[in-house]
């Protein structure tokens, strides 16, 4: 079958509103901050830009508001070469992330999903031609879970579905069975295996209308009792996590492990892909770049292990520059990173760190993996 697109990304598009502060305010407190900076973001929009920069024929299916933030996001996509025919406008203001950052780099984020929450199953059905024209379809969970289920139902036979369940919620069997691969960090793996969602700043996202979808066996299927291993029953070995996740139904799994690399697994192979040492400046969006690169290279016919190794290089290149979308590398820049010996990487003014993938992009010798 001939496809018009190497990758269709179905997901979120946000405007990131960032203010630097000397310290984050307490309850009832007002503090002064830096000038406001506004950047295009959202996991879906980030993935689309990352793939297009690498040379993939890319389209985005998303919803933005009919406002200045929506126009900013559309301009960013078009500048990167993304086909925006599937980006819908209206129904709610564009999603925004309100971000305060202190001098140490720690941040606090409040997300208003806005139009992202209005990307509906009906929107997916209306875009069936676009959906069936893509070799690979990638999704995340910053849009309603029922919408992701409709994506799975509407894909062309023979196309491939890639899911990064972030922010994580328990997934219905019908979505799990379509994943090839399911890309998770350790926290996301715990949630997929039935662990508590209430384990970090992403928790509130799970409280919404999408929760009811997991309880609809007629559309999503129920998880067999034999596959219901819990986080407590599989221990701390990443290979055990991979086996437990595969038992839930995905065709393949990628578990990102920070400085340890990424574990890739399917019913034939399990392999550890090493991390890439770089001197990082800004980790924002590195995980989205990893996912986009992995999806594109899988669609090009590479094995899961080879595609993940390439994706690790893309994520590593992204953190050597400031910003999210503006930092995403071209294929030539990734090739340059691959050719460079670790000791000859250009110094970017920070300690050497290791970058792999979504949710856990960076880890250094003296610090834990960033979430």
- The residues annotated as belonging to the active site are 288
Considering only CA atoms, which of 270, 284, 249, 265 is closest in space to residue 362?
Answer: 284
- Report whether the peptide linkage leading into residue 167 is cis, meaning its omega lies within 30 degrees of zero: yes
Quote the DSSP letter at residue 157.
Answer: T
CB of 157 closer than 8 Å to CB of 213:
no
Neighbours of 195 (CB within 10 A): 17
Burial class (CB in 10 A: 0-12, 13-18, 19+), 156: middle
- Label residues 240-266 b or e (16+ Cβ within 10 Å = b): ebbebbbbbbbbbbbbbbbbbbbbbbb
Angle at which helix 304-318 crosses helix 43-54, to 10 degrees, equals 100
Element housing 245 (H / E): helix 238-247
Q: Hey, is 19 helix, strand or coil?
A: strand
DSSP string, 22-53: SS---TT----B---EEEEE-HHHHHHHHHHH
């Amino acid at each position: 079958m001939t496809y018009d697109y190497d990758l269709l990304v179905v997901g979120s598009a946000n405007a990131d509103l960032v203010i630097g502060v000397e310290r984050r305010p307490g309850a009832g407190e007002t503090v002064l901050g830096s000038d406001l900076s506004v950047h295009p973001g959202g996991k879906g929009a980030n993935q689309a830009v990352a793939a297009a920069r690498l040379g993939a024929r890319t389209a985005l299916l998303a919803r933005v508001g009919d406002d200045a933030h929506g126009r900013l996001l559309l301009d960013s996509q078009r500048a990167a070469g993304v086909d925006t025919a599937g980006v819908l406008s209206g129904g709610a203001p564009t999603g925004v992330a309100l971000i305060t950052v202190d001098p140490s780099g720690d941040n606090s984020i409040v997300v208003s999903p806005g139009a992202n929450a209005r990307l509906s199953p009906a929107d997916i059905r209306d875009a069936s031609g676009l959906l069936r024209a893509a070799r690979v379809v990638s999704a995340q969970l910053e849009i309603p879970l029922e919408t992701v289920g409709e994506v799975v139902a509407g894909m062309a036979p023979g196309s491939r579905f890639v899911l990064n369940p972030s922010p994580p919620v328990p997934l219905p069997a019908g979505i799990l069975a379509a994943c090839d691969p399911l890309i998770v960090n350790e926290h996301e793996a715990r949630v997929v295996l039935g662990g508590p969602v209430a384990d970090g700043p992403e928790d509130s996202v799970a409280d919404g209308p999408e929760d009811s979808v997991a309880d609809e066996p007629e559309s999503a299927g129920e998880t067999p009792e034999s596959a219901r291993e819990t986080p407590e029953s599989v221990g701390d070995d990443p290979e055990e996590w991979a086996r437990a996740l595969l038992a839930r139904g995905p065709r393949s799994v990628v578990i990102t492990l920070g400085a340890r690399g990424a574990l890739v697994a399917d019913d034939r192979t399990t392999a550890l892909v090493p991390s890439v040492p770089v001197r990082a400046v800004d980790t924002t969006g590195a995980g989205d770049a990893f996912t986009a690169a992995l999806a594109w290279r899988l669609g090009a016919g590479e094995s899961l292990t080879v595609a993940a190794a390439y994706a690790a290089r893309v994520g590593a290149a992204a953190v050597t520059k400031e910003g999210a979308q503006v930092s995403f590398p071209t294929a030539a820049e990734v090739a340059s990173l691959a050719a460079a010996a670790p000791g000859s990487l250009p110094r970017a003014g920070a300690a050497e760190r290791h970058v792999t993938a979504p949710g856990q992009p960076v880890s250094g010798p003296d610090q834990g993996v960033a979430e």
